[in-house]
Chains A and B, each alone.
Chain A
Amino acid sequence: MTAMISVEGLERSFGDHDVLRGVDLRVDRGSIHALLGSNGAGKTTLVRILATLLPADGGSATVAGHDVAAAADDVRRSISLTGQYAAVDEVLTGRENLVLVARLRRLPDPRGLAAALLARFSLTDAGDRAVSTYSGGMRRRLDIAMSLVGDPPVIFLDEPTTGLDPQARIEVWDAVRELAARGTTVLLTTQYLEEAEQLADRIAVLHRGRIIAEGTLGELKALMPPTEVRMVEHQPSLEEVFLALVGTPTPDTEEKDS
């Protein structure tokens, strides 16, 4: 397997606050990798560095073989970022949003691409309505569709289901699964343990600026003591694994984009 994202010893602080303290991470081509952590763990900071939006203080990172600091333009051609808050244009229609991204990426036939993506994300009927009339789930689906314009090999999904109702969450999950099925590499940040359990091939637990555990769901579960013999067999849920690894829930200050 080739690594599409490779991170070594990445550090970043804001003032006195060390947000990332030496992160190592490797994401294989075509996999869904979940970055799991509480608010303030540094997830968004890591994604912003990988998406060339923020310089690191130390360490190195490559995306699709390009160094994020030295070859930012090459990285930008290989990635798409879907932010924590759906960054879509509310005034434009769904179709116009997609056409805009296609034109910015200077792709041939922006209208054809937009029509295909609207169909793929079940937004054809709503395609010519202003996005301000969309539901939360539709908006997030459009957001992901915009990320797919031009088929970038790597997609960052920063908390793609935060603030969505359960139905909309399932819609987004289906969209993410389909991405990976087509060979796109997905790095997904989430604070929802179930989301990581449902979607991810591998899970990295980011806590206080370090990756403290990494592996498949099965590998992470094996970190727990063997199941006790009880009347009812007790399988540790990922939530229990997470809390055991992390300790008590952290009262850290909420992570802010700065």
Chain B
Amino acid sequence: MSTLFVDNTTALLGRSLRHVTRSVDTVITTTIMPIAMLLLFVYVFGGAIDLGSGAGVGSYVDYLLPGILLITIGSGVAYTAFRLFLDVKGGIVERFRSMPVARTAVLWAHVLTSLVANAISLAMVVAVALLMGFRSSAGPLAWLGVVGILAMFTLALTWVAVIAGLLASTPDGASAFSYPIIFLPFVSSAFVPTDSMPGPVASFAEHQPVTAIVDAIRALLEGGTVGGDLGVALAWCVGILVVAYAVATRLFRRTAA
């Protein structure tokens, strides 16, 4: 890792962090939908949702929070795609590329900014959940695990967002990729246990990344044993990350040689 890359990324990170701090409304906006869902599902639908006898005695907000956190990330990374799209279309990426700047520093600056912005959004959602009665018996190590999984998931999805930002031809197109990501938790164990779903749906739900990630986070927050979910969750994150990173960097090198 050259000092050129580190210096360039640091300079560009300072720039994109200013974009975030000068439009705090974007960070708040990304938390409105997940918080609304949290309220809706806990206070409106929650009473009718049967978590099954094996689901434990925890309140529904405890059950729901991991999925809501993933939705928060899905809606947060859409802003990364949008910001990158504006940079490409506005010509400032062109300017950086005609300078002696490390090739992928522009992308890394956006990705690291996404981690910071999502960390703020996630903290806000957790704060609301605490007000709603969310409690966790997780120790510091388990919390560290939760933060680690969320960071990996954010990193993986942000590289997917980079692809969308580079490929999009309109601002709406840049952020539209996140709709499936926001929707995916609904067909997972995030809201209701998968064994309540009809066969094919349950089978899809059990084999898509959100279920493994949600189950792993839930187990960590409950202070229980995590089991194989953690491995599957991390494998999904790393897999998505590696593929998205490879595609995004190739795309970036190709779009303007």
Chain A residues packing against B (C-beta within 8 Å): 51-55, 73, 76-77, 79-81, 83-92, 96, 100-101, 103-106, 130, 146
Contact status of A104 and B92, CB under 8 A, knowing A53-B97, A54-B257, A81-B98:
no
Once the chains bind, are A91 and B19 in contact (CB under 8 Å)?
Answer: yes
Once the chains bind, are B91 and A105 in contact (CB under 8 Å)?
Answer: no
Once the chains bind, are B12 and A104 in contact (CB under 8 Å)?
Answer: yes
Once the chains bind, are A51 and B98 in contact (CB under 8 Å)?
Answer: yes
Once the chains bind, are A55 and B100 in contact (CB under 8 Å)?
Answer: no
Out of B7, B22, B91, name the residue touching A103 (CB < 8 Å).
B7
Out of A54, A92, A104, name the residue touching B18 (CB < 8 Å).
A92
**Bound: A92/B11 CA distance, A:** 13
Contact status of A92 and B15, CB under 8 A, knowing A83-B91, A87-B91, A103-B7:
yes
Once the chains bind, are B256 and A53 in contact (CB under 8 Å)?
Answer: yes
Residue of B nearest to A49 (CB): B257
Contact status of A100 and B15, CB under 8 A, knowing A87-B91, A89-B92:
yes
Sample 10 A-B pairs with CB under 8 A, ordered by A number.
A76-B98, A81-B94, A81-B95, A85-B90, A86-B91, A87-B94, A91-B19, A92-B15, A100-B11, A106-B7
Interface residues of B in 183-199 (CB under 8 A from A): none
Once the chains bind, are B92 and A105 in contact (CB under 8 Å)?
Answer: no
Min C-beta distance of B73 to chain A, whole Å: 23
> Is B236 at the interface (CB under 8 A from chain A)?
no
Q: In the complex, which residues of chain A have a beta carbon less than 8 angstroms from the beta carbon of B99?
A: 76, 80, 101, 104-105
Residue of B nearest to A152 (CB): B99
Q: In the complex, which residues of chain A have a beta carbon less than 8 angstroms from the beta carbon of B4?
A: 106
Interface residues of B in 81-104 (CB under 8 A from A): 90-92, 94-101
Q: In the complex, which residues of chain B have a beta carbon less than 8 angstroms from the beta carbon of A96?
A: 15, 18
Residue of A nearest to B105 (CB): A104
> Is B8 at the interface (CB under 8 A from chain A)?
yes
Residue of A nearest to B7 (CB): A106
Further 14 A-B residue pairs, CB within 8 A, beyond A53-B256, A84-B91, A100-B14: A52-B97, A52-B98, A73-B100, A76-B100, A81-B94, A83-B94, A89-B15, A91-B19, A91-B22, A100-B12, A100-B15, A103-B11, A104-B96, A105-B100
Residue of A nearest to B89 (CB): A85
Once the chains bind, are B18 and A91 in contact (CB under 8 Å)?
Answer: yes
Q: In the complex, which residues of chain A have a beta carbon less than 8 angstroms from the beta carbon of B7?
A: 103, 106
Q: 3 tightest CB-CB pairs across the interface, nearest first?
A: A87-B91, A103-B11, A81-B98
Min C-beta distance of B171 to chain A, whole Å: 15
Q: In the complex, which residues of chain B have a beta carbon less than 8 angstroms from the beta carbon of A89?
A: 15, 92
Min C-beta distance of B11 to chain A, whole Å: 4
Contact status of A53 and B96, CB under 8 A, knowing A91-B19, A103-B7, A104-B11:
no
Q: In the complex, which residues of chain B have a beta carbon less than 8 angstroms from the beta carbon of A76?
A: 98-101
**Bound: A88/B94 CA distance, A:** 11
Out of B19, B101, B256, name the residue touching A104 (CB < 8 Å).
B101
Residue of A nearest to B19 (CB): A91
